[in-house]
A and B are shown apart, each in its own frame.
Chain A
Amino acid sequence: MVISNKPLRFILATLVACLPLISFANPEQDTVKVKTEVAHEAAEGTHAEPTDVKSKIKAFINHHLLDAHDFTFLANEETGEHYGFSLPIILWDNGLQVFSSSKFHHGEETAEHNGNFYVLHHEKIYKTDASGTLTQEHGHPTNATPLDLSITKSVVGILGIAVLMFVLFTGLAKSYAKNGGIATGAGRFFEPLVLYVRDEIAIPNIGEKGYKKYMSYLLTIFFFIFFLNILGLTPLGFNVTGNIAITASLALLTYLITTFTANKNYWGHIFWMPGVPTPMKFILAPIELLGTIIKPFSLMIRLYANILAGHVVLMSIIGLMFIFKSWIGSTLSFGLAFALSILEILVAFLQAYIFTMLSALYFGAGNEEHHHEEAHH
């Protein structure tokens, strides 16, 4: 008899294999759900509130994946109480409109400010009238959306991480001067990571000559993504790096830096590829040009999708605990959630590493010296 030396893998594999059997074994519940939803919709009209556990979990996950205009740690759904604090709403709607998010009452009420009415629908602010009507079309409201510059939960997270990074790394920088070139304090833990970014990411990909001018960006982006990924794993419920606007801005910066620091050789390879027949050069130019945009686009999607998927899977498995409501199923779900959380820590580091590494690679490509001529000598 063969005994595997990887029992954990077997347990996990068996568990995953059994999951659909358990979760779809109760068709009765589905019918119940349909009934209640129909009843609910009939009662409240357009705004459907999920009532059974499964759709509640789904709604909760969807809600979590979005940014939030207030900071809620937990909510008591029976009494409708929310425990957390409000955040400022800043809108640009014919002038600056600033008010507290408590006016929305967690999306349940229409907020009135300076004679304008706003409603919060799926964490998006729409302009509305006094009664709070939303004209729906293809499932999306067609009301006007003012430019929303609110300090949302994600902005709080970004600011928090920015302050943390500033305190941590200025502390590290100061400790060198104080202690004769040897780091002390909490920053000391991050010094090997700083050196890792320099020696394993920047220098091999960009080259000894030009790596220095990119170091600030690479170090900042590495620790920023790493810290925000880790923050996303805490029970505070941040989902910052799993937000397309965040990854888009990071990718845009990488694209802009690559474009503006690239040398003649880089552009030469894009518009007039050396070493291929002239007709091919005309075909290659648009492809290469498109490639420069696809590269940062892939950066954006990769980070967004990895973190989002991690959050969805982890929350779904945690949600399974409440669906099973049996000591064996819930325990297995807990074990799986625990194992996946550990995996997510690895992913948090890995995604930060990949984003930084690929950024460095693109910078390196933009700064490459002419190697073809050197080869002839």
Chain B
Amino acid sequence: MDKLINDFSFGLFIWQIAIFVGLILLLKKFAWKPILDAVNDREEGIKNALLSAENARKEMQNLQADNQRILQEARLERDNMLKDAREMKEKMVADAKNEAQAQGLKMIEQAKAAIESEKNAAMAELKLQVSTLSLSIAEKILKDELSNKEAQTKLVEKMLGDVKLN
């Protein structure tokens, strides 16, 4: 202990305190603070990067889910549209068919009417022809069988009756 006290140098003690305190203050300002700040920043940066990567991953997942949903919706929409189109087509075809039928019927009616009128006209013509024919026949008969009056008359009546039946 005596040696310890004897060896104790106050000058060295004072120098040491002065230099060491100076060193602490200098290093604090120029080294430790920037170093620890930089290291902290770096650690924060790494932490943030990891967090943002995780977020990005989640977002990606969300996006993918969204995409899936949108795709699903689009598919549904397409199906609906296709279905609508098919229905419309069927309806149009049916309408067209109906109209065509109606038109056809109408035309048939018209044709029938035309045929009737033509037939009537032909009948009238025929009747005219028959009457002229019968007149000519009658003339001929009259010419041939004017002697036999009774038989002639009977014949005329019979012929006329035949003509009427026609």
Q: State the A residues within 8 Å of B (CB).
A: 66-67, 90, 124, 140, 147-152, 154-155, 158-159, 162, 165-166, 169-170, 172-174, 176-177, 181-182, 191, 194-195, 198, 212, 215-217, 219-220, 224, 243-246, 248-250, 252-253
Q: What are 13 residue pairs bridging A and B, where the CB atoms are less than 8 Å apart in the complex?
A: A147-B11, A148-B10, A149-B14, A154-B12, A162-B23, A173-B33, A176-B38, A182-B42, A220-B27, A220-B32, A245-B13, A249-B13, A253-B21
Contacting residues, chain A, for B9 (C-beta < 8 A): 67, 124, 148, 152, 243, 245
State how many angstroms separate the Cβ of A246 from the closest Cβ of chain B: 5
User: Which residues of the other chain, B, contact A250 by a CB distance below 8 angstroms?
Assistant: 16, 20
On chain B, the residues within 8 Å of A158 by CB distance are 15-16, 19-20
Residue of chain A at shortest CB distance from B15: A155
Q: Is the interface of A mostly helix, strand, loop or mixed?
A: helix
| A194 touches which of B16, B22, B39 (Cβ 8 Å) | B39
CB-based contact B11/A149 at 8 Å: yes
Please, which residue of chain B has its CB at the minimum distance from the CB of A153? B12
13 additional contacts, CB 8 Å, given A172-B35, A215-B36, A253-B21?
Answer: A149-B15, A155-B15, A166-B30, A169-B32, A173-B31, A176-B42, A191-B35, A216-B33, A220-B20, A244-B8, A245-B12, A249-B17, A250-B20
Chain B hits for A66, CB < 8 A: 7
**Alpha-carbon gap, A124 to B38, bound state (A):** 47
Find the A residue at minimum CB distance from B24. A220
- Say whether, besides A66-B7, A158-B19, A173 and B35 are in contact (CB < 8 Å): yes
Compute how far the CA of A337 lies from the CA of B17 in the bound complex, rounded to whole angstroms: 34
Chain B's interface size range is: 20 to 34
Residue of B nearest to A150 (CB): B11
User: Are A253 and B12 touching (Cβ within 8 A)?
Assistant: no
Q: How far is the CA of A169 from the CA of B45 in the complex (A)?
A: 22
Whether, in the assembled complex, B4 has its beta carbon less than 8 Å from a beta carbon of chain A, the answer is: yes
Contact B35 A169 (CB under 8 A): yes
Considering residues B19, B27, B33, which has the most beta carbons from chain A within 10 angstroms of its beta carbon? Answer: B27
B26 touching A166 by the CB < 8 A rule? yes
Q: Is B84 an interface residue (CB 8 A)?
A: no
Residue among B15, B17, B23, B41 making CB contact with A181, cutoff 8 Å: B41
A147, A152, A169, A212 pick with most chain B CB within 10 angstroms:
A169
Is B6 on the interface with A (CB-CB < 8 A)? yes
For B32, list chain A residues within 8 Å (CB): 169, 215-216, 219-220
| A308 CB to nearest chain B CB (Å) | 10
A152 in complex: contacting residue of B12, B26, B35, CB < 8 Å: B12
Residues of chain B within 8 A (CB-CB) of A166 are 23, 26-27, 30-31
